[in-house]
Amino acid sequence: MKTSLKTALLVCAAAATLSAQGPLAVINGARFEVRYPVAPGAYAQAYGSYAGVTAQSAPSVPLPTELGGVRVLVGQTAAPLYAVGPDVVSFVVPQNALPAGESQARVNVRVVRGETTLAQGPMDVVSVSPGIFFALGDELAQGGILNQDSQYAVQGAPARRGGVIQIFATGQGALDGTVADGAVPAAGTLVNARGVTKVYVSVDEAQVLFSGLSPQFPGLWQINAIVPDKSYISGQVPVVVTIDGVPSNQVSFWVTQ
């Protein structure tokens, strides 16, 4: 995989430690909040104590369902794996984790190696669970947001008012199209999120150009939007995404005229 995969998806995990509440704790891997549920197809992390597991990352897409002999079973379904380690496993929530017609469910998650269960616990699943990736340790939560030049919109490379940004998130839920768990859309194919997506930059609603699956990274929700051309949108500004009225966490990015 490209280096940008870890930058975009694992930005939350790189600088933090989360203690499991019991034998295993599953979180939305973008929001990084305990007791916040996940959605089908979302990027998630399972924290626990996985004795004897060494750190490994998936080498390519589609993602494997086993790394170093380790699997994550969501119910009876083996989840696609991004990475495994002695205290955290990163995976994509299988689409069937939420039964058809249901708006919420609680399923058992097991981290296993061979025939041995290393840890297990419940995972709450809801229809949408929006979370924007961000850099831990930044007081204003620098978001996983690219500017018009496809660079991270940080102070040294700000987005421009009126320009297009790419927001990297997860948890968009249902799709207008079918993509296998752990895979990405076929080349040249756009797979849109079914829900209504809105982006708010400061106090203004931004025009959304695209909301759907990333063409490169399983479990990644990509939103393309135009930065509102308002004089007060300058410097480090907040951004929130909603889908079907459910808000994401607030992050920030840098903007210039």
pLDDT exceeds 50 at position 13: no
Q: Give the angle 90-190-99 at the CA atoms, nearest 5°.
A: 55
pLDDT exceeds 50 at position 51: yes
**Class for domain 3-126, per CATH?**
mainly beta
Reported as a single tens digit per residue, the pLDDT across 195-233 is 999 999 999 999 999 999 999 999 999 999 999 999 999
Nearest Cα residue to 172 out of 188, 187, 192: 192
Say how far apart CA 88 and CA 112 lie, in whole Å: 13
Sorting pLDDT into bands at 50, 70 and 90, what band is 23?
Answer: confident
Same fold, 3-126 and 131-256: yes
pLDDT exceeds 70 at position 1: no
pLDDT exceeds 60 at position 156: yes
Q: What percent of the chain has pLDDT over 70?
A: 91
Strand ranges of the sheet holding 104-113, from the earlier edge strand across to the other edge: 77-78, 70-74, 104-113, 116-126
In this structure, the dihedral spanned by the alpha carbons of residues 7, 88, 20 and 123, taken in order and rounded to 10 degrees, is 90
pLDDT exceeds 90 at position 35: no
pTM, entire model: 0.92
Does domain 131-256 match CATH 1.10.3470? no
The pLDDT value given to residue 138: 85
Domain boundaries, the chain: 3-126, 131-256
* Residues 25/87, Cβ–Cβ less than 8 Å: no
